[in-house]
Amino acid sequence: MRSAAINDLDFFLLEVPSAPGRTLIVRLVDEHAVEGWGEAACSWRVTETSARRDAILPAVTGRSVFDVEELLTWELFADPPLRCAMEMASWDLVGRVLDQPLSHLMGGAYRRRIPVALRVEAASDDETVHLTRQLADQGFHSLVVPASGDLDRDVALSRRIRENAGTRIELRLDAQERYDIETAAELCSLLEQGAVEFLVDPVPANDPAELQPLQRRTMVPLAARRCIRRPRDVLHAVGRETSGLVVIDLQRVGGILPSRKSAAVAEAAGAAACLAQSRSLGLATAAMLQVAACTPAFTFHNETPHESLDRAVLTEPFDVSDGMVAVPQGPGLGIRVDRKKVERFQVA
């Protein structure tokens, strides 16, 4: 096996109309000019990219890309989204050096096609209802809809979606921590007639155990996402039976390895778990598919924004059929980045 020492590093800050917000793209290069790519949602200013590169490149130059876990313990990568993007690029580069998909390097593909839950965000409730019906007709059996924080509106929207899409879908209402516990309890009571399968993050929770009082008052299964920042948070959630589902956000926990450790905790406790990623131009979606393929512990539909399947900076589309996405079979993340598209969307 030949060596793979890091030789170069680039950061690209992108804005794509179909994916609101900024996305950080990381490009790692070894001494043989093999590239690895990663991404994460990012709030950096344009001037930060060069300063960050100047700080990080000297530290990683000459280091083996195979030392992924050691590199990511450095203080330079304390920010979870940056750590996630760097780790993703590292694993992509490792896979390309070994000419193997990432899932093959982590135990082998347990699944070839991954069930996805599409996150639907639209300008109005009418548009949301229409889009969820379209997606259900296309075979997407699990949908995630953000809540507004208005009790009556959120209940009405959930019921409208259920009436239009019927029992064909699993509907998750993401409350985004917008409710206090009393209003959340009222929301749950109005949703107990089967309007939703899961209510995600109904109340602000710095500790997953803070969902426990609400779960005791309702039959609606609760899901924890934003309070899951490390594997031990999963232990707190499932150990106290505060959550019907643990949603492990790749960027929030800081990457692929932490997400697999979190999944192992959930599996050991007999809890349901799935992956998620906040925003993607295709790379993070590919990473999610690779990780889900080799991790049996992810037992539920894995969440991705519905725009992410448009693969904004990739050369090839994802293979989507009946609500499932095929795991890319190329080396590393299994996909190829279109450098011209990256440059087209780069923030000047």
State whether 54 and 117 are in the same domain. no
The one-letter code for the residue type at 76 is L
Query: Per the domain annotation, does 34 fall within a domain?
Result: yes
258 vs 198: CA distance, rounded Å: 24
pLDDT over 90 (residue 68): no
User: Which token pair is 13?
Assistant: 């800050």
Within-domain flag for 331: no
Establish if 317 belongs to a structural domain: yes
pLDDT at residue 255 above 90? yes
**Residues 298-309, mean pLDDT to the nearest whole number:** 88
> Burial code of 234-266, b = ≥16 C-beta within 10 A, e = fewer?
bbbbbeeebbbbbbbbbbbbbbbbbbbebbebb
Backbone phi and psi for residue 46, each to the nearest 5 degrees, phi listed first:
-60, -40
Q: What is the pLDDT of residues 148-193, one digit of tens each?
A: 999 999 999 999 999 988 777 899 999 999 999 999 999 999 998 8
Based on the fold, state whether residues 55 and 154 are members of the same structural domain.
no
Banded model confidence at residue 242, pLDDT cuts 50, 70, 90? low
Q: Are residues 223 and 209 both part of a single domain?
A: yes
pLDDT bracket for residue 309 (50, 70, 90): confident
Q: Residue 123: give its domain's CATH number.
A: 3.20.20.120
One domain for residues 146 and 295: yes
> Residue 299 has which token pair?
């037992």
Tell me, rounded to whole angstroms, the distance of Cα 301 from its chain centroid.
12
Q: How confident is the model over 33-50, as pLDDT tens digits?
A: 999 999 999 888 888 899
User: CA–CA separation, 333 vs 267, rounded Å?
Assistant: 24
Q: How many CA atoms lie within 13 A of 348 on its CB side?
A: 1
Question: From the CA atom positions of the chain, what is the Rg in Å?
Answer: 20
List the domain range (segments joined by +) for residue 59: 6-99+337-345
Residues 67 and 216 grouped into a single domain = no
Q: Is residue 143 part of a domain?
A: yes
User: Same domain, yes or no, for 288 and 203?
Assistant: yes
This prediction has a pTM of: 0.93
Task: Answer yes or no: is 332 within a domain.
Answer: no
Question: Would 113 be classed as within a structural domain?
Answer: yes
Q: Mean pLDDT across the chain, nearest whole number?
A: 91
| pLDDT grade for 342, boundaries at 50, 70 and 90 | very high
Using an 8 Å Cβ cutoff, are 122 and 129 in contact? no
pLDDT value at 86 more than 90: yes
Judge if 199 and 248 occupy the same domain.
yes
Three-state DSSP state, 230 = coil
pLDDT value for 241:
57
Q: Is residue 1 part of a domain?
A: no
**Is there a single domain that holds both residue 168 and residue 121?**
yes
Residues 92, 122: one domain? Answer: no
pLDDT in tens, 117-132: 999 987 899 999 999 9
Q: Domain for residue 253, yes or no?
A: yes
Q: 233 and 129 in one domain?
A: yes
pLDDT at 103 over 90: yes
* Domains contained in the chain, number: 2
CA nearest neighbour of 183 among 204, 198, 162, 157: 204
pLDDT-derived band at 91 (thresholds 50, 70, 90) equals very high
Beta carbons within 8 Å of 40's beta carbon, 6+ residues apart: 23, 24, 81, 82, 84, 85, 88, 251, 284
Same domain, 134 and 279: yes
Average pLDDT over residues 317-337: 94
184 is written with which tokens? 């959340």
136 and 85 part of one domain: no
Residue 240 pLDDT greater than 80, yes or no: no
